[in-house]
Structure 1
């Protein structure tokens, strides 16, 4: 990322939040060496992050999962959670369905779960660099307040009905696309109508957030050369970060290892 008043280049790296192999390759390490701060979607070394996240994980107005599904559907969800997470639904019945699904992510992989964000944080700390965010944890949590609970619970029910089978196939496909650096393919996957929360609400999950990030990316990059790490699904398409930065006057070119 260059031009438009920037004295030095900044770099944008597309992450995948959950993966089998979060090894940082030499090209990415070089970009980290050439920058002096790391900016992720949120400031992940904020000591209050977990406390804030816990507060935003629960449905408002005393809602429970049982308010959103039939008795038979409730039984299906309870059976799946007991089997896959080792806990009955009663323990998490007031959580937003999205966060119940996210608890199951490690089960959707056929490997121990790793995180690019954690690896980037580790390198930033080794280099004594600041870790900052493009949005607050409150901003991110609001997304799952804006997506109707009914749509979230539809995804939870789909996950429960086939005991994670669909999710495992989908995760494997997403990881393969990421490995092949196919950000357009990753974006196309978000149109899958089986995943209601994503397919129906890309404006809330992607487009609105992307637009909000552009001025912040510019401010950070003008201040000092910056390494940005955001989900790869945010990069592609007309409303993706790459195109929006170009429209804002920046020169964005792919870095080949």
Structure 2
């Protein structure tokens, strides 16, 4: 009865449009799990899961996400280790004058003071500016799908597993050398200036909301294609390196828990080396539910 009441309450929080995303059922030797694609921002205050995903989550014994975003202390430690220059060192010493000037202009447009971020490395500044652009257009990190998943897990007293750590994730960006970091920043500054950054982010978010498989695939192609540092890093590291590691961790967790609901960024589910295909190669049956 309590589960049915919670299910009804969760659906009552939804507004007129249910988010679809993509949901897979994963089974192997009597173990069942669910694999769900998420986006890391939200808007409008609407509950981000549709009825099928909500039921799958409530029926699961454990929630598995990339990172428990409630754990700010671990993130701050990782940030200090991988994303900030030592005291008395600043971003200006690591960029050409031309790039630094473009950065200052972008920070001014975003309403961010240079003094508040001058110890941040170029890759973090690039990501910060893209995030600020999304925020200005109504997208909030606080409305990310992960928060809804964690809220259900807390109400249901579910075990929460992390696939990665903040130190690992930020360390991946810190693996870029100084030249690559400056190019990564320049590419993102250009995409912000011509509106391409916002356009690409909105395309993925709207495709996710509509459960638009071709649209999601197009967003993945756009993010991973070309000879830019950003595309190469996305293809080679953020997806190519992490997906096999995620698949191995998902398999380990599924062997421990009877039913696990795994929520990861939508792009991890796309392509021949996406998580559904990788799990199939490991002998799992993978069925798309929506």
In proportion to residue count, which structure has more helix?
2
Q: Which residue of 1 aligns with 2:249?
A: 216
Does residue 1:17 correspond to 2:40, yes or no? yes
State the shift of 1:120 in Å.
0.9
Instruction: Give the 3-state SS of the residue equivalent to 1:172 in structure 2.
Output: helix
Contact residue 243 and residue 274 of structure 2 kept, 8 A: yes
1:184-203 aligned at under 5 Å gives the runs 184-193=217-226, 196-203=229-236
1:83-122 aligned at under 5 Å gives the runs 83-88=109-114, 90-104=115-129, 105-108=131-134, 110-113=137-140, 114-122=143-151
Distance between the aligned counterparts of 1:83 and 1:174, measured in 2? Answer: 24
Q: Deviations over 1:44-83 (max 9, x none)?
A: 3436323323323224798643344321321221122022
Distance between the aligned counterparts of 2:248 and 2:187, measured in 1? Answer: 38
1:126–1:164 Cα change, 3 Å: farther
1:29-40 aligned at under 5 Å gives the runs 29-40=54-65
Q: Deviations over 1:202-243 (max 9, x none)?
A: 221111111112221112112221010101111111211110
Instruction: Give the 3-state SS of the residue equivalent to 1:228 in structure 2.
Output: strand
Q: Give structure 1 stretches of 5+ with no counterpart.
A: none
What is the count of residue pairs matched by the alignment?
254
TM (normalized to structure 2)? 0.78
Aligned equivalent of 1:130, options 138, 142, 159:
159
TM (normalized to structure 1)? 0.87
Instruction: Give the 3-state SS of the residue equivalent to 2:287 in structure 1.
Output: coil
1:173-188 aligned at under 5 Å gives the runs 173-181=203-211, 182=213, 183-188=216-221
Distance between the aligned counterparts of 2:64 and 2:50, measured in 1? Answer: 18
Contact residue 36 and residue 129 of structure 1 kept, 8 A: yes
CA RMSD of aligned residues (A): 2.5
1:172–1:195 Cα change, 3 Å: farther
Greater Cα shift, 184-193 or 24-33? 184-193
